[in-house]
């Protein structure tokens, strides 16, 4: 019996790559887009269902046609860099609110509200970044770094307060430096290299607990 994954944010880049990767592995995929993605629709087949959702708008994912315990994994792949200056000393209230809601509180709320749709022993994964590690931080990129650190904290809270009782694993995933619109052409990893590793991590996860890991499955400093 094939497994099912919900990917929130699958219109391009890593999210699109994950949709393609899981389809190639024989999974059923429910993939979301905010606006129509021709690249995502090009993958259409009997194992792919495309929905419209935005993690910053709870009403958009309130009814995705998923029943309780109907998916094996959810991957919340939403993120922006934030204001170009990235300086905490220059950031306006609107700039802070935008990056924090898109990268941290929006994904966490979506994960919590969709948690009932995950089967016991399944996985809830958030697309994070090594730049969210406090221990590893060299400073700079204040808005982006802080939003991903906040997301990690919220993810661990979900693991402890909401997912543990149903033996659901919660993951914060670092995809590596990837050749996407955000990562740029000089990035070290292709999308395929990153998503292949990320899919392995998700497939091999399970059991209550929280992990902050990279695409190779190696633990990262919180």
Mean pLDDT by 10 residues, the chain (222 residues): 95 96 98 97 96 97 96 95 97 98 98 98 97 96 98 98 97 91 76 96 94 97 96
- Alpha-carbon Rg for the chain, nearest whole angstrom, is 16
CB under 8 Å to 126, separation ≥6 — which residues?
A: 75, 76, 107, 108, 111, 151, 152, 155, 170, 171, 172, 173
Q: Dig out the tokens for 109 from the structure.
A: 């709320």
What's the half-sphere exposure (Cβ side, CA atoms, 13 Å) at 41?
8
The correct CATH number of 4-214 out of 3.40.50.720, 3.60.10.10, 3.40.50.20, 3.30.1490.100 is 3.40.50.720
CB under 8 Å to 36, separation ≥6 — which residues?
A: none
99/147 Cα distance (integer angstroms): 7
24/28 Cα distance (integer angstroms): 10
Q: How far is CA 27 from the centre of its chain?
A: 17
Helix (H/G/I), strand (E/B), else coil: 83: coil
pLDDT score, position 179:
83
40/56 Cα distance (integer angstroms): 21
29/41 Cα distance (integer angstroms): 12
CB 104 within 8 A of CB 148: yes
Q: Model-level pTM?
A: 0.96
198/142 Cα distance (integer angstroms): 26
pLDDT score, position 177:
81
| C-alpha dist (Å) from residue 132 to 68, 104, 136, 164, 173 | 31, 11, 8, 23, 10
Q: What does 139-165 look like in DSSP terms, one character per residue?
A: S--HHHHHHHHHHHHHHHHHIIIIIGG
């Amino acid at each position: 019996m094939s497994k099912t994954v919900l990917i929130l944010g699958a219109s391009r880049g890593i999210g699109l790559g994950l949709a393609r990767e899981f389809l190639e592995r024989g999974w059923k995929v429910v993939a979301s887009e905010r606006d129509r993605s021709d690249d995502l629709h090009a993958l259409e087949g009997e194992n792919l269902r495309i929905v419209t959702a935005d993690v910053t708008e709870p009403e958009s994912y309130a009814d995705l046609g998923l029943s309780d315990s109907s998916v094996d994994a959810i991957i919340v792949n939403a993120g922006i860099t934030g204001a170009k200056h990235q300086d905490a000393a220059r950031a306006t209230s609107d700039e802070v609110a935008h990056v924090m809601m898109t990268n941290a509180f929006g994904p966490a709320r979506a994960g919590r509200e969709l948690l009932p749709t995950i089967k016991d022993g399944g996985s809830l994964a958030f697309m994070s970044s090594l730049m969210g590690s406090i221990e590893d931080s060299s400073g700079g990129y204040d808005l982006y770094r802080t939003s991903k650190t906040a997301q990690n904290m919220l993810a661990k809270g979900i693991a402890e307060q909401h997912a543990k009782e149903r033996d659901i694993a919660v993951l914060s995933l670092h995809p590596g430096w990837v050749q996407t619109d955000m990562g740029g052409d000089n990035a070290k990893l292709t999308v395929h290299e990153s998503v292949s590793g990320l899919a392995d991590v998700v497939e091999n996860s399970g059991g209550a607990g929280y992990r902050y890991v990279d695409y190779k499955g190696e633990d990262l400093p919180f």
